[in-house]
Structure 1
Amino acid sequence: MLVGAGLIALVVGGLTYLSTGNTAGAVLAGMTAGGVSAPVLHKIVGP
């Protein structure tokens, strides 16, 4: 689950950087996506 959240964060951050060229915005978007996806993946996969 944590690996999946990290992968989602990397993809979102990378795509954000490629579309905007703003490093700080890309890091923020990646961290937000990873933080939001971790509990969702935990509910989907289960303990």
Structure 2
Amino acid sequence: MSHEDPRAPGPGPLLGLRAAIVFLLGLLAGVGAGVLTVLAGGGLASATLTGAAAAGAGVLFFHSIID
């Protein structure tokens, strides 16, 4: 019978720290843009599209500036 060493390293993280920060900042930019769209009188569909576009642009932007 084989026993695993509890101190043995497990599988690595799903995302690196940099990737997690880039995605989190992109998500926050998208949510902020969507909320501002709704507060400006836009509909829910318009806010969703605006937020998704801002999240994508935010991920690209933060990917380029965070080293």
State whether TM-score is above 0.5. yes
Structure 1 stretches of at least 4 aligned residues deviating more than 2 Å after TM superposition: none
Which deviations, in whole Å up to 9, do the C-alpha atoms of 1:15-44 show, x marking residues without a partner? 101112400000000000001111110010
1:3 equivalent to 2:24? Answer yes
Paired positions, count: 46
Structure 2: segments with no counterpart, 5+ residues = 1-21
Q: Which residue of 2 aligns with 1:45?
A: 66
**Identity %, equivalent residues:** 30
Quote the RMSD (CA, aligned, Å): 0.9
Structure with the bigger RCO (C-alpha within 8 Å, sep 6+) is 1
Structure number having the greater helix percentage: 1
2:46 maps to which residue?
A: 25
Counterpart amino acid of residue 43 in structure 1: S
State the TM-score, normalized to the length of structure 1: 0.89
Distance 2:33 2:61 in 1: 16
The structure whose Rg is larger is 2
